[in-house]
A and B are shown apart, each in its own frame.
Chain A
Amino acid sequence: MLKIKDLKKSFSKRGIPLINNLSLTVNTGESVSIQGASGCGKSTLLALIAGFETPDSGDITINGLSITGNSTLPLNNISKTRNIDNFRKQHLGIVFQSFNLFDCFNAWDNIAFTARLKGNSDKDYQLALMEQLGILSLAQKPLSQLSGGEQQRCAIARALVHRPSLILADEPTGNLDETTSETVSDLLFKTCKEANTSLVVVTHSQDVAIKADTALQLHKGILENVKHEKTEQDSSSPFAAN
């Protein structure tokens, strides 16, 4: 589903590249967590996957389409900005650390925005998604009346409602307390799994990272596998049984 091959990105000409010959494969429905020290390039990697940044070299393909324009198959290249915008609209869902919902909309319209943008608005699916995330009763509420956890659940719903192939989450629990963080991260992984959507999560939280199918660490520009031991808390999570 997501294939990254020999990706290189540097912000200074002389220094060590932030991303250095990085390769990664994420299959459909698979979740990957990426951890790393501050400034190691986690968010840059997400920005490269989303097409916000252009790599120095290497290739990123999502569903067979190269967003870097470096594919050996020219027909698969979608390097032009407009096409990348369109690609993002069709295939990607993004969850931000600070939720980034539109304050001019209520919860329902915020969630529906991406589906409307894509043109595949499905009211029933949105209702089901909101019910699953426990925010159905908040549908008509203005954002100013929602808590941080509720807003992040809205953001997750917004990222999923247009049925993207891949969800990118950048510190999705960074602004939440421990309990809310646990709930929200469980919901994120669970709904992605049920929607058979791939998920790449960048996080500092070990508790979040270990919920992914694959836990990786970015170190000196390359990804390394990390083995986490699941804590008791994880198994006692209300969503663990699911």
Chain B
Amino acid sequence: MLRTLLLTLNSLLAMAKFRLWEPLLIMAAIILANAGLVTVLLINEGATQGELLQSKKGLTSGSIIAPANSRARFTQSAYATLRRHGFTQLIAFSEREVTLSCRGSKPTTISLTLLGVDTQPLIGSAFRTKDFEAPAINDSAFSLSFLSRNARKYNEIENQQTPARRVLHSNSGVDFAVNGFIHPLTNAKLTCHDTLNETDNKSANFPSWPATVSAHVSNFAPQNTILISVDDFYRGGITLNSEEPAAPAKSDNTRRAQTQQKTYVPLSGLIALSPLSQQRLTQIETLLGIPVKQTTNNTDNDTGSLPDSFRLNLWAMSGLMGVVALFIVLNALNLMYRTRLPNIIRLRQLGISKRILSGALFIELLAYCVISIPIGMFIGFQAASWLSPVINGTFTSLFNAVFVNPDVNLLFTFGFALTTTFISLVVFSLVSIIKLSNALAVTPVKKENVMGQSAVGLISLCALLLLFLAETFVASTASALSFVALLLLTSCALVLLWLPILSSLLTKFVPRQWPVFHYVIANMHLLSSKTRLAVCAFFIALTANIGMNTMTDSFRDATEQWLTQRLYAPFYLYTDAPLSTIESLFAKSLPPFELTPLLKADATVLGVNSPETTQKVPSLASNYVSISSYPVHPSGRSALVLDSVLNNDINAVWREFKEGNGVFINQQLAFALNAKLGQVLDIKNVRLRKIVNSNDAAVSTSNSLEEITPNSSHGSKSNGLNSNIFSAQPQWKLLGIYPDYGNLNGQILVPLPSFNRHHTPIRNQLFSGVVAIYPEPSGETAAPDSHRHTIYEKDILEQHLKNQLGEHSEIALYTRQALLDTSMQTFDRTFVLTDGLNITTLLVAGIAFAVSLTVLTIGSAAQLSVLRALGVSQFKVKASLFAQYLLLCFISALLAIPFGVYLAYIFIQQVNRHAFNWVYPLSLNAPVILSSVGLSLLIVSMVLLLPLGKLKPKIDLRQEVQL
């Protein structure tokens, strides 16, 4: 038996060798499918690992203890005293700013906080039991001790292979190196790919910082910081004590560095894992003899989280590509069996059993898998690596999430790919083997089963009705995506039913005087049954492409329209300066302008109250919403975009809003709460967004919350603040729902005058860092006209602001158009990944078509030969073939348009609704749809031209035409 098997296998391999391109085609299909599979696996794994990184608690997720008096400082001895008295969970930290720039790229700089922490307590068991983990290496204790290790030569660090790392160079000339951590989101936001260097013009206060930091990407570090050991922090001329250096020098370089000018940087504070009780705080005050304050870092909402729905979308798209790739493999297998059929029949006639034959075929397939899968995996790894910056940009800009280059188990991935591919191939080859068995059996000639037009029409009608019925049952993202799959499969089945009918109808209308064209159309009718698989692949790819493009275009139109209306002011200032500073600056030196700041607070929504019942929040992540101010001046009113308003009376609604009798909520919140207009939001725990204004500074003691609400604790803080945040408590009645594209969270618009207008520290805390600037409407201004005209220039105004605010405040002034352009550019970048996958899917479908063409060309070689014998030129033969396939594609494309539009509608009204909680109008843009069709036909044409170009139908009088 083994001998027979080997003999059969030998025969099969001889067949493969004789027609080498057949196994090569199958291997190419397997490589393509696996490359796609591995790419998607890696992208999803990268997204998951990025999300995991963000979901872990960071170093500063607890609270920070600092002297209450801003002039007082903790000393090293004070810290030692506390530790001696049992406060071992406190971690001393020091911080200072460093400005870095990317080597060799455009001269953009980034300011980060160099954060030195005492690593000794981190190794203690108290921290290891509190979910702290440094993801660079799984063992947290090891990771933390790794951080505390002192200098290493840069070259040694360079050679270390860790999943993600960034090197940051000092400009101090000191060449010792330290290890550190950087937050993944910070790492993602750094535009520089490799090494960042300290800028030359760093302020004189901090002449140098510890040499080269090899920063490992970890959520352990707070955002926008470089986390290093405090030992390393106090090196290179930085001292904790102005009298004596903190750390002993260990090398000549270090010693040389310490001979430089010493800079005194005190301890900034103490990090506590969890908020300390008032009793413990009092103990500290007693021990140190100075009042201390505790600030709790409420950063729950800062870290973006990749929603499951997005991952579902990614899987859906990859599934789509996978299906199309499988079509290719199936096509290739069909091709191989078709050409081998006579030889296989001979093998069977010679007495080789079906089992042996099947076994040999499977072994042959396994060999192809083993050769092709590693190549496919390699291409997949390369593709994922090539795509990672794009994906990273998308994740960061859209979801405030992180994508990391994933750390994967190669053996597992290979095993997974091998198993998946081989099982698919076995299933497919079984289909072919069944066909093979049928070919060996004597069967009566089957009567052609032709379904009438009316029957097809009736089936189509029923299928569409069932589809519409099924749509009403969509209630979640998963069911919406399942419906998308159902829609694609149903439409595919309908196309297979209609294609022969349409091609048959077309044949009747083609003038007989054009015999070659008539042949093309008539033959296409026959081809429609032979090219089912390829047509399906092409149809699915094109329908998905039209659907995605129409959805994206509708989203783009809606966003652009929404932004155009919302951005009412000619200038927008982004700054980290306090609002009071900005307001006084404009009041003093820029009188021709009026300011509208954007104030923001956080709150928790418990539900909505209607006159009858109180609904609980069904599904809203952490029940968190942001409360934003909205101006009530006429420009604000004209800029307001509302989807629906109470009683459809915009004037009455605006009046109510202006008077603080109600609020507007975004679509996301309305959908999440299933809220209706007129209902009242049940809002609790209205609080300031963060300790500090800027999103960037995760550790800072510069702005004290206690100054606003003295003696408030974490639990009672919100209630105390609630009364301070608003000067007049707004009514939470729902007056209108507005679109808020791109925001994954719920948002409430409250009239600007409702916010506290008098308490400067609170206003500064509420200030989001954005101010709308527009010319004062009245002519009452002290500025002369010439000055007014000059100051309206963006660059002049920006320079003026920079001069006035000094170097300590970051400002960026955008014109309305610039902001609009930037937003739309960001929007376009966001969909680069989707576009890429779309085109890849189309390309894969095109290849499936080319494979089909190759199969059919072999089958129709005799007919082509007859055409040539009858005097049809070679060019006309090729053109006729090309026209046949392109016409098939064209008819499929025509049928794909209505289904693609329906798919876009489903994407917008169901998938977006459930995944992102927003919907927008479907805008049908003919050029967009036509460009999708055109692009797909172009891709297919280009792919078809390859085999057609090589086709040379040989005229052979003995050629047999297979009927």
Contact = CB atoms under 8 A, between A and B. Distances in A.
Contacts of A89: 870-872
Interface in B621-646: none
Contacts of A104: 519, 522-523, 525-526
A237 interface: no
A114 B865 CA distance: 14
A50 B874 CA distance: 15
Given A109-B512, A109-B522, A144-B963, A102 B866 contact: yes
Nearest to A101: B961
A219 B802 CA distance: 104
Contacts of A170: 957-958
A8 to B, nearest CB: 20
Contacts of A113: 515, 519, 870
B842 interface: no
A52 B516 contact: no
Contact of A116 (B448, B515, B525, B863): B515
A121 B519 CA distance: 16
Contacts of B955: 47, 50, 52
A117 interface: yes
Contacts of B868: 85
A97 interface: yes
Interface residues of A, number: 35
A144 B515 CA distance: 21
A144 B869 CA distance: 22
A206 interface: no
A71 interface: no
A143 B526 CA distance: 13
A177 interface: no
Interface residues on B, range: 20 to 34
B959 interface: yes
| Residue with the greatest number of chain B CB neighbours at <10 A, chosen from A46, A85, A87 | A85
Nearest to A170: B957
Contacts of A102: 519, 522-523, 863, 866, 961
Contacts of A112: 512, 515
Contacts of A43: 957-958
A116 B872 contact: no
Given A94-B869, A143-B963, A117 B957 contact: no
A100 interface: yes
Interface string A177-203: 000000000000000000000000000
B958 A97 contact: yes
B873 A82 contact: yes
A86 interface: yes
Interface of chain A, helix or strand or loop or mixed?
A: helix
Contact of B513 (A88, A103, A116): A116
Interface in B510-555: 512-516, 518-519, 522-523, 525-526
A92 B512 CA distance: 21
B719 to A, nearest CB: 82
B206 to A, nearest CB: 82
A87 to B, nearest CB: 8
B175 to A, nearest CB: 75
A47 B865 CA distance: 13
- Chain A CB within 10 Å — which of B445, B514, B515, B871 has the most? B871
A98 B519 CA distance: 20
A125 interface: no
A114 B958 CA distance: 19
B961 A98 contact: yes
Nearest to B526: A104
A81 B513 CA distance: 24
A10 interface: no
A116 B869 contact: no
A192 to B, nearest CB: 18
21 contacts: A50-B955, A85-B871, A85-B873, A88-B871, A89-B872, A90-B871, A96-B957, A98-B958, A98-B960, A98-B961, A99-B961, A100-B865, A100-B961, A102-B522, A103-B961, A104-B519, A113-B519, A116-B512, A116-B515, A144-B445, A144-B963
Given A89-B871, A104-B525, 10 more contacts: A50-B957, A85-B872, A92-B871, A96-B866, A96-B958, A97-B957, A103-B961, A104-B519, A144-B963, A170-B957
Interface of A: 43, 46-47, 50, 52, 81-82, 85-90, 92, 94, 96-105, 109, 112-114, 116-117, 121, 143-144, 170
| Closest A-B pairs by Cβ, 3 of them | A89-B871, A116-B515, A104-B522
